[in-house]
Structure formats: structure tokens, C-alpha cells
Amino acid sequence: MNIRTILFDLDGTLIDTNDLIIASFTHTISEYSDRSYSRDEILDFIGPPLRESLKKIDPERVEDMVETYRKHNIEHHQAYVKAYDGVPETIRQLKEAGYRMGIVTTKMKNTVQMGLEITGLDGLFETIITLDDVTNAKPHPEPIVKALQALDSKASETLMVGDNTHDIEAGHNAGTHTAGVAWTVKGREVLEQLKPDYMLNHMSELLEITGG
């Protein structure tokens, strides 16, 4: 396949924020829920937009929970967040080889920027589509379509890379090729059920796939 554009999810794909997200959910749950949640229950919250996940805890106090979650998340970003092995090097090589690259995420702009700066990925992507930029989040195709428009790219020449079912489904819905990452906290089997075109064991495998 002729890949000229690569779109990436952020959390769980390029940067490891899993422990931060779990800690922020745990902190929020301890303040707003009358019971504790297991790790597996919290893992189900990872991927969808924050409000959608928090609504399952207490639909009456979502906005208060969002504020509590984000405060904890921002305060602890520096301590938890790091790039996955090989990510900065691979992204730089792909950029030097001329690939168009963007990020499509369900995060808000401010925390996206924080994560990119902490991990040395800032300035490597031509477009970043966040939750602020769309009406419909992944798995709806809108975020990917917006990224393709910004990059003047075709879906048929694009690869969507992600760690969550929402990423693979969004790629399918937008007509792109898809790649799951084996380091997903959900377990690679969850992504394999959606039959992505590729399953990456290490980000550097993108260089083999693209010839970059």
C-alpha cells in the first residue's frame, strides 16, 4: 500500500500516560463514588472522551468530576508521562523522510501540548485534532476527516495508528488503513478482533511498513 500520511492517537500510542490516567480516575472516584473501582473497570474508561467515562460514575456530577480529574492530571503530568520506546526517534525519521503526520486525540489542547513538550515530540506534527476541534469524537470519522483536510491528504494513502478500539474503528469509518499497537493497556487481542492492517510490536516497525 502507498502510505504518505500517518495519523496517531496520543495517549497509550505515542506517550505512556496510563498510570497518570488511572491515578487521576482513582483520585476522582475516591471523592465522588460510594464504592471503589477495580483496575479493569478503570481501564474501560480509557479511550472515550472524559465526560462520557465520568458519566458512568455519577451522571449528576460530571462537571465537578471533570474539574477534579483535570486538576489532578495536570498537577502530576511531569511525574508520570514519558514517550514509549523508540517513538521520538521513529517520528523524527518519518518526518525527515517527508511523511505528513498528525495527531487525532480525545484529549483537550492544553494537556496534549503538555504531553508533547514533556516527551520531546513538540513540533513534529503538522496538525493536531483534539476534542476541542470536533463535534463527534472517535470512533466517528470526523476527527480523522478533519486531519486529512488539514494535511490535504487522501484516506486511501493514510495510516491511522492507535491503542484503542476507538482508533481502529475511526480509521475504518474514515476509509484509512489502520495499525494497532501491541503495547496497548487493553491487550493486543482486543485490537486484533477489529482486524487492523498491522499490529506494531515497536514503533520503529512503521519504518519497515512505509519504507521510511
Q: What is the pLDDT of residues 122-181, one digit of tens each?
A: 999 999 999 999 999 999 999 999 999 999 999 999 999 999 999 999 999 999 999 999
Structure confidence at residue 211 (pLDDT)? 83
Q: Is 58 a catalytic residue?
A: no
pLDDT band at 28 (very low <50, low <70, confident <90, very high): very high
The active-site residue out of 9, 11, 16, 167 is 9
Q: What integer best gives the mean pLDDT of the chain?
A: 96
Sheet holding 198-200, edge to edge: 127-129, 100-104, 5-8, 158-162, 177-181, 198-200
Cα separation, 149 vs 102, in Å, equals 11
